[in-house]
Amino acid sequence: MMRLSTAGESHGKGVFAILEGIPAGLRLDLAAIDAALARRGSGYGRGGRQKIESDRVEILSGVRDLVTLGSPIALAVWNRDYENWKAYMAPEGCDTSARKLTKVRPGHADLTGMHKFAQEDARNVLERASARETAARVAAGEIARQLLLALGVIVRGYVRGVGSVSDDKIYSFEEIVPSPVLGMLDPEKEQAACREIDTCKAEGDTLGGTVELRVKGLKSGFGSCMTYREKLDARLCGALMSVQAIKGAEVGLGFEAAERRGSLVHDELFPAEHMPVRKTNHAGGIEGGMSNGEEIVLRAAMKPIPTLMKGLRTVDMATGAPAVAAPERSDVCAILACETVLESVLATELSAVVLERLGGDHMEALRQRYGALS
């Protein structure tokens, strides 16, 4: 069974991942992992933190000569900013009274986390709740993506909308070549989105957006209709919703299906030589909780970043008095980073599903088992 665990704080020594269950014999492309980390740190609307961090992965165990051994893989992405925070964050001892945060920020884990974990300083919550954690998930997710790619399964994604700017065109899988600026496919839409980001920045506000994800090459039968825990759509949407700031996920037509009649929703079947074929893919490649051989189509909605430069009204938990939330270091829009993270978590969960069904201690056995599927 494949399992991913992460650790680390936003301003701690680094963020770390332990990835268990990857078969032996998978040759890794280290440059591709670092490229994904760089993409996670890029995009129009990012803030000052990205000028400090230049993420690269360090593989600590489970790999020899860039080939997986079948043992747990330990990954580290070190925080350069730790040197600026060591006096306040060092596990070995530090000044916890400095950089204390009691003016809890709306939309963050601050207030609820302080209550749940009996803390007087929100920093003991926010450092772990931060989206900085996703650097570890991107590093691990790229290994999962490379495992899928070895089976002929390809994961791609792009930014479909930013704020009020939305690109509703239906693109073929081959057309998905995202821009490095915002990850969109239509240059005019992207320019409009950049202008909206500029407006938000000038007003001290933030923007979210929507991401579309596709999977090509996944054969039918992954997931199950027999128990709800194994439903593929539940697992994949759950993975997307585990990412910070994601507030909605849908498969295929998603919410639009609720507005249509059944005759315009369900994918009709037509005779073919081996298996009936579909001429539409409204189901997004998943029927009855199982992959049906069509492209997997998912979308996720990212809320605007809750740390606003102009600050939101809040309460100082140390005094109970009204206050304005501190901005910390913030982005105006991080939708390209979000899209990168979502691709990684999708690849991770999908790899886990594949390995649960097929097993295999080494890649050759996994390839043979996948190739034998109809």
pTM of the full structure = 0.96
Q: What are phi and psi of 347, to 5 degrees?
A: -60, -40
Average pLDDT, the chain: 95
Q: Give the pLDDT confidence of 135-151 residue by residue, as tens digits.
A: 999 999 999 999 999 99
- In sequence order, the β-bridge partners of residue 233 are none
- In sequence order, the β-bridge partners of residue 63 are 68
Question: Which residues are CB-contacts of 127 (< 8 A; sequence separation ≥ 6)?
Answer: 9, 10, 11, 12, 89
Share of the chain above pLDDT 90, in %: 93
Per-residue CA distances from 134 to 14, 58, 272 (Å): 11, 15, 44
Nearest residue to 256 via CA among 232, 281, 282, 278: 282
Which residue's entry shows tokens 């993270």?
Answer: 341
Q: Give the pLDDT confidence of 317-348 residue by residue, as tens digits.
A: 999 999 999 876 679 999 999 999 999 999 99
Question: Which residues are CB-contacts of 191 (< 8 A; sequence separation ≥ 6)?
Answer: none
**Exposure on the CB side of residue 115, measured as CA atoms within 13 A:** 5
CATH number of the domain encompassing residue 30: 3.60.150.10
Per-residue CA distances from 235 to 206, 289, 343 (Å): 30, 9, 14
Q: What are phi and psi of 313, to 5 degrees?
A: -65, 140
Q: Give the pLDDT confidence of 91-144 residue by residue, as tens digits.
A: 999 999 999 999 999 999 999 999 999 999 999 999 999 999 999 999 999 999
Q: What are phi and psi of 159, to 5 degrees?
A: -85, 120
What is d(CA 294, CA 276) in angstroms, rounded to the nearest whole number?
12
Q: Which helix (H) or strand (E) holds 302?
A: strand 296-302
- The residue segments making up the domain with residue 57 are 3-371
Helix axes 134-150, 363-371, angle to 10 degrees: 60
Q: Is the dihedral of CA 342, 345, 349, 352 positive or negative?
A: positive
- In sequence order, the β-bridge partners of residue 278 are 269
Query: Which pLDDT does position 52 carry in this prediction?
Result: 58
Per-residue pLDDT band at 308 (split at 50, 70, 90): confident
Share of the chain above pLDDT 70, in %: 98
Number of domains, the chain? 1
Per-residue CA distances from 260 to 248, 282, 284 (Å): 20, 11, 16
| Maximum C-alpha span of the chain | 73
- In sequence order, the β-bridge partners of residue 8 are 15
Q: Give the pLDDT confidence of 13-55 residue by residue, as tens digits.
A: 999 999 999 999 999 999 999 999 999 999 999 876 555 568 9
